[in-house]
Amino acid sequence: MEIFKGDPDNRCVVCKGSKMLCGKERCPILMKHFAQQRARPLLDSLELEGSSPPGVFIGSYNYPDVFVGPLIPPVQGDTTVMDTPEMWFGRSIDEIVDFRAQLVRGMHRTSVHDVENGGRTVDLVREMALASGPAEAEAEFQRKPFGRLVLDDEVQPFGPSAPLKKLDVGNIKFDQRIEKPFYDTDLLARDAVLDLYKGDVLLSRIQKAFSVGAFGLGKRRKFVPTRWSITAVDDTIGKTLREQVKHLPLLNEYRLYESWSLDNRFMVLLMPTSWRYELVEAWYPNTIWNPSMSADIMLISSHEGYDGRKTYAEIGGCYYAARLATCEHLMRLGRQAGCVILREAHSGYVMPVGVWNVRENVRNAYRGPFRSFNTLQQALEFLSTKLDIRMKKWVQTSHVLHDMKYQRRLEDFIPVDPRARDQEGTG
């Protein structure tokens, strides 16, 4: 691979997508360009008609006066996959970018408090978030949809946008499971989220309804920016499951799970301890959050102990998404455990696609086979064969691993009768 030694700000001009001077396997600029070019002929108009997945987006800029609006593609039919991240695992970045680039965001300015008195457009956007399937929508814009493909590590990508002049939506069939808490103005938003989760409603659907202020007590309802609603739902459910996990018997072995997708490798270590949790991310050079041309790999971690944490995780929404997936698995196992998740984001991960990528990767890891170990040292030795970064570096960065490896505990001094341990199968 050719190494660019000039000014990093000029490397794209010199490269023009042909020499991969940034070190990435694919040129993200060209990927976005071609996706937008494929969608552009369908969007060259002030009017747009199509089947919304259904999708809605609530912005955060200039909060509490924000833009709310639908996500509409210029195609009709079953577009569910376009806004259902649970269906994306195993798809390539090209596929995800292609159908997300077609979603045009209509923008209507309103206050987050005007969920009931915001007017017809606001009402229609809320109804779309409650739909059980794709909704036929017609939008008229004040100007032609324009703008780059929006990429963010918190929310799913979407395409161009334009201010709404008019919005019409066909007959919408509500998801009755979501409709019930929508009309219950005495039900707390937290309880609505948990009830829907227990009823097997997809997280992405709960998050959309939460973002349009569909839950909560009467006049206290308000719009929640999409990026906040995703983490709020993950955190609410994750905390509840965590408190239930803390009452379960301990896992009786060390377990390692693995998932690899979109050039992200996830190694998940469960340990026979009381609840503690950590996510450690390693971003290779020339990935989206480590654009450096040097050989330095950036590592960052966020963790919590038995009592959780009081501040927002440094890593952001990915922390809460992975914690939720872990608590789900421990509830299925009927076991309490400590958990450390190690993520290597390699250069093939050329653009962010949202926190769903972390949640679904961790879920996928738990669905697969696992390896069992009797000691932490055995687990770490095997881990060192699966990850490119030296184990010493992971342990130095990880609060939980460092503590588990070097901090002596009371149980270290108490003999344990092997016959007294739970004889759960090791899979």
Structural domain count, the chain: 3
Could you list the residue range(s) of the whole structural domain that residue 198 is in?
176-244
- pLDDT (mean) for 232-260: 97
pLDDT tens, position by position, 159-216: 788 999 999 999 999 999 999 999 999 999 999 999 999 999 999 999 999 999 999 9
In terms of domains, do 311 and 328 share one?
yes
Distances (CA, A) of 34 to 97, 107, 147, 157: 10, 24, 14, 15
Q: Could you give the C-alpha distances from 152 to 114, 279, 316, in angstroms and in order?
A: 27, 19, 12
Q: Indicate whether 105 and 184 sit together in one domain.
A: no
102 and 47 belong to one structural domain: yes
How confident is the model at residue 211, as a pLDDT?
98
Angstrom distance (rounded) from CA 234 to CA 154: 12
Nearest to 237, CA basis, from 187, 303, 190? 190
Note the pLDDT tens digit of each residue in 83-116: 999 999 999 888 888 888 889 999 999 999 999 9
Distance (Å, whole) CA 404 – CA 395: 10
Rounded mean pLDDT, 287-312:
81
Would the pLDDT of 357 be above 80? yes
Strand, helix or coil for residue 111: strand
Quick check: is 426 in a domain?
Answer: no
Last residue of a domain, one of 137, 169, 201: 169
Q: Is residue 423 part of a domain?
A: no
Question: Which of 153, 169, 185 represents a domain boundary (last residue)?
Answer: 169
Question: Residue 292 — pLDDT band, cuts 50, 70, 90?
Answer: low
Residues 319 and 292 in one domain: yes
Query: Residue 154 above 60 pLDDT?
Result: yes
Q: What would the mean pLDDT of 411-424 be, rounded to a whole number?
A: 44
Quick check: 19 pLDDT over 60? no
Q: Are residues 232 and 257 in the same domain?
A: no
Nearest Cα to Cα of residue 351 among 214, 177, 148: 148
State whether 157 and 203 are in the same domain: no
In a domain, residue 31? The reply is yes
237 with 193: CB under 8 angstroms? yes
Tell me: do 77 and 207 sit in the same domain: no
More confident site: 37 or 391? 391
197 alpha carbon, distance to own chain's centre: 16
Residue-level pLDDT at 6: 46
Do residues 322 and 284 both lie within one domain? yes
Residue 416 has pLDDT above 50, yes or no: no
pLDDT higher than threshold 90 for residue 383 = yes
**Binning pLDDT at 50, 70 and 90, where does residue 37 land?**
low
Query: In sequence order, which residues have a C-beta less than 8 Å from that of residue 297 and are 6 or more positions away?
Result: 282, 283, 284, 285, 290, 389
Burial class (CB in 10 A: 0-12, 13-18, 19+), 345: buried
Residue 2, pLDDT above cutoff 70: no
Q: Which two tokens stand for residue 279?
A: 């996510």
On whether both 40 and 116 belong to a single domain, the answer is: yes
Amino acid 390: pLDDT = 93
Of the residues 149, 169, 189, the one at which a domain ends: 169
Enclosing H/E stretch for 159: none
In a domain, 18, yes or no: no
DSSP string, 399-417: HHHHHHHH---GGGGS---
Q: Scan for tokens 């703008």, then name that residue.
A: 147
pLDDT on residue 131: 96
Kindly state whether residue 46 falls inside one of the protein's structural domains.
yes
Co-location of 312 and 277 in the same domain: yes
When the pLDDT of each residue in the chain is averaged and rounded to a whole number, the result is 86
**Domain membership flag for residue 42:** yes
Percent of the chain surpassing pLDDT 90: 69
- The confidence band for 47, taking pLDDT boundaries of 50, 70 and 90, is very high
Q: Do 269 and 197 lie in a common domain?
A: no
Greater model confidence, 156 or 332: 332
Question: Is residue 337 in a domain?
Answer: yes
Classify residue 114: in a domain, yes or no. Answer: yes
Residue 419 has pLDDT above 60, yes or no: no
Confidence (pLDDT) at 427: 37
146 shares its domain with 106: yes
pLDDT score, position 148: 65
For residue 194, the model assigns a pLDDT of 98
Question: pTM for the full model?
Answer: 0.86
Q: What is the largest CA-CA distance in the chain?
A: 75
